[in-house]
């Protein structure tokens, strides 16, 4: 699956965020990392999309997964690939 847009909302030094970036990198998936600590607009967008302040949050072509680890990300990506 080659999505048009992948945005990953992260907090620096968040272990789950680092796991998500590592998983995406290992899969060869291009994504836009958005630091919600340094960027207030990114924080507001994450909150709007997910309804929560926890990171990471990933948006893939309008589909959102919030507050996850690598296993949940892999399952989410598999569901997207089958859609």
Residues 29-66: tens digit of each pLDDT? 999 999 999 999 999 999 999 999 999 999 999 999 99
Instruction: Find out whether 78 and 29 touch, Cβ atoms under 8 Å.
Output: no
Instruction: Find out whether 3 and 83 touch, Cβ atoms under 8 Å.
Output: no
Q: Give the homologous superfamily in CATH for domain 6-82.
A: Glutaredoxin (3.40.30.10)
Say what the pLDDT of residue 20 is.
Answer: 95
Q: Rounded to two decimals, what is the model's pTM?
A: 0.92
Task: Please report, in angstroms and rounded to a whole number, the separation of the first and last CA atoms in the chain.
Answer: 10
**Share above pLDDT 90 across residues of the chain, in percent, rounded to a whole number:** 83
Domains of the chain, residue spans: 6-82
What does the chain come to in residues? 83
Strand partners, 8: 33, 58
């Amino acid at each position: 699956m080659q999505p048009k847009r992948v945005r990953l909302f992260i907090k620096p030094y968040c272990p789950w965020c680092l796991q998500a970036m590592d998983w995406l990198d290992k899969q060869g998936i291009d994504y836009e990392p958005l630091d919600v600590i340094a960027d207030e607009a990114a924080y507001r967008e994450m909150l709007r999309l997910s309804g929560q302040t926890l990171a990471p949050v990933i948006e893939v072509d309008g589909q959102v997964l919030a507050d996850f680890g690598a296993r949940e990300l892999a399952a989410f990506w598999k569901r997207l690939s089958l859609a």
